[in-house]
Amino acid sequence: MAQVNPLVGDIPGNTDMVIGTVEKILATRAPDMIVFPELVLTAYPPEDLLLRASLDIRIDNAMARILACKFDTHLVIGYPGREDGRLYNMLAVICRGEVVATYRKQCLPNYQVFDEKRYFHAGNEPCVINIKGVDVGFTVCEDLWEPGPMAQAAAAGARLMVNINGSPFHVDKLHDRRAVLQQRQSEAAIPVIYVNQVGGQDELVFDGCSMALEGDGTLKALAPACEEALVPVRAVLASGQVSLEQGETAVMEEGAGLVYKVLVQGLHDYVTKNGFKGVVLGLSGGIDSALTLAIAVDALGEDRVHAVMMPFRYTAQMSLDDAALQANNFGVSYKVIPIETVYESFMASLAPEFEGTTVDLTEQNLQARCRGVMLMAISNKKGYLVLTTGNKSEMAVGYSTLYGDMAGGFDVLKDVPKMLVYALSRYRNAVPGNAVTEMIPSRIIERPPSAELAPGQVDEDNLPPYDILDKILELYIEHDQSAHAIIERGFAHDTVMRVLRLVDLNEYKRRQAPVGVRISKRGFGRDRRYPITSGWKLGE
């Protein structure tokens, strides 16, 4: 199982990776088959790159290079292939320079982050070939989430199923995958080799976790999450049946630990694949920026992370102290740049426009926008990517400032609810081998969260308690429940109506927000598409 991290669109580079991976394996082993992920030559998802006129030329060149190597093993390669003028999500089995079989994906997902029907036609035929006496069936990703293709392959004589994937992470995804595979196996009673892509691609993170399951659903091999891996699986034919020997099974983190690993992977790949020198972020002394800093250091190393504290008259000394302490704990470059004079310059310039008005949110937002200007200037000058630090709870209800704290290129916490921010922070402090006991100072975790844009301000002046807010948001955003349905669960009527109204009103902000890692089944981005201009009324 070749669990690799390709780069979307880099067909020559991905071909080099495939060839290099095969050469590396064959230098020490003699496998009968090497299985790569879905669409490995383009990486997943290539989106509208599939519409480019030169796609076929580039894929043909890539396949010709692989065939020319004449590797003495069966290679399973995923690629976009055109037949009779139609584009398919395809799989080829290659051996000694010949294509011995092809398969066209039958079940095209068109939900959440998937839109394959936009690009591909569906196949309708099974693919079963004999390799060393074993009749092996082949399918692609979604084909195992529906009963038809597996049953079709088994009816055609398959005694072992190979399924290649580009399956992105969300919380509990590994459990979901195993449940689906076990359901298919209960129907066909044959082992499954499931090979998944790994790595970050914009807001998606492919966690890998390639696996091999016996015909009764027993786990026989498991690749690690968020790491490239070459995992051997041994299939044994006896009395006409195939069984899998026990192989390598990675120790899987669960809960906050796995989410943290996914966030690190997503940030690392976004920064490195896009060629940024490093990242810069505003370190406020609050928990969101504290967690973002920790993830950044773990993803990129302290030398590629620059933190900036930008205090104003409302910034507490506690915030200054805690930000400095955390920056020192993580060993990052750290600067303090007050925004008082910048703010006053803006106010002086705006005085004629503001004459006769009273102080309101405008002045608070101007503070955030001063900070945004500072961070973007540093980004331009030094080639750093600006990390914003807003969490999913804030993004949902618009508790953020356009062109202020939303100004930047990537938001690690974009799909992380506030209560999970706390859990992830505690998790990071508990990681063995920390330089100090509390890499994120406990006071940052324990103090009431505040934007510090007004005297004595705390978030709960404007929002419900986060434990309540997060539950309402999950029901509305991830489960599409109506206002009435949420109220019937015991939440206060006025609170629910206010929160849901804020979510709807702030769609225009989210459309202008940076991309960020998706960890839920319904993140803000590819898989939640609501109109900005809408007359939809809350209720049923």
Ramachandran sector of residue 100 (left: φ over 0; alpha: ψ -120 to 50; beta: rest): alpha
Q: How much is the pLDDT for 30?
A: 94
Span 51-76, average pLDDT = 96
Active site residue 98: no
384-388 and 410-411 as β-strands: parallel, antiparallel, unpaired?
A: parallel
Half-sphere exposure of 100 (CA within 13 A, CB side): 18
Reply yes or no on whether the pLDDT at 238 is more than 90.
no
Reply yes or no on whether the pLDDT at 137 is more than 90.
yes
Q: How much is the pLDDT for 458?
A: 72
Reply yes or no on whether the pLDDT at 510 is more than 90.
yes
Catalytically annotated residue among 38, 116, 214, 474: 38
- Torsion angle in degrees (nearest 10) through CA of 104, 105, 108, 109: -150
Active site residue 141: yes
Reply yes or no on whether the pLDDT at 40 is more than 90.
yes
Between the two ends of the chain, the Cα-to-Cα distance in Å is 48
pLDDT band at 529; cut points 50, 70, 90: confident
139-151 pLDDT, tens digit each? 999 999 999 999 9
Q: How much is the pLDDT for 125?
A: 95
Alpha-carbon span 470 to 391, nearest angstrom: 11
Q: How much is the pLDDT for 188?
A: 85
91-119 pLDDT, tens digit each? 999 999 999 999 999 999 998 888 999 99
Active site residue 107: no
Nearest to 496 by CA among 223, 357, 488, 311: 488
pLDDT band at 16; cut points 50, 70, 90: very high
Q: How much is the pLDDT for 231?
A: 96
Q: How much is the pLDDT for 526?
A: 83
Percent of the chain with pLDDT over 90: 82
| Phi and psi at residue 11, to the nearest 5° | -65, -45
**Residue the block writes with tokens 């890692």:** 517
326-360 pLDDT, tens digit each? 999 999 999 999 999 999 999 999 999 999 999 99
Alpha-carbon span 491 to 472, nearest angstrom: 8
Span 194-212, average pLDDT = 96
Alpha-carbon span 172 to 194, nearest angstrom: 17
Q: How much is the pLDDT for 452?
A: 65
451-493 pLDDT, tens digit each? 667 777 776 777 899 999 999 999 999 999 999 999 999 999 9
Q: How much is the pLDDT for 355?
A: 92
153-186 pLDDT, tens digit each? 999 999 999 999 999 999 999 889 988 988 888 8
Lowest mean pLDDT among 20-29, 239-248, 267-276: 239-248
419-430 pLDDT, tens digit each? 999 999 999 999
Catalytically annotated residue among 141, 209, 226, 370: 141
Span 219-237, average pLDDT = 95
pLDDT band at 189; cut points 50, 70, 90: confident
Q: Which range in 212-221, 295-304, 308-317, 462-471 is most confidently predicted, on average pLDDT? A: 295-304
246-283 pLDDT, tens digit each? 999 998 888 999 999 999 999 999 999 999 999 999 99
Token couple for 77? 């390669």
Ordered structural domains, the chain, with CATH: 2-252 (3.60.110.10), 256-460 (3.40.50.620)
Element of type H or E holding 305:
strand 305-309
Catalytically annotated residue among 105, 220, 392, 418: 105
Alpha-carbon span 230 to 253, nearest angstrom: 19
- Residues 512, 400: contact at Cβ < 8 Å? no
When the pLDDT of each residue in the chain is averaged and rounded to a whole number, the result is 93
Element of type H or E holding 268:
helix 255-273
Reply yes or no on whether the pLDDT at 228 is more than 90.
yes
Span 200-216, average pLDDT = 94
**Residue the block writes with tokens 């044959």:** 190
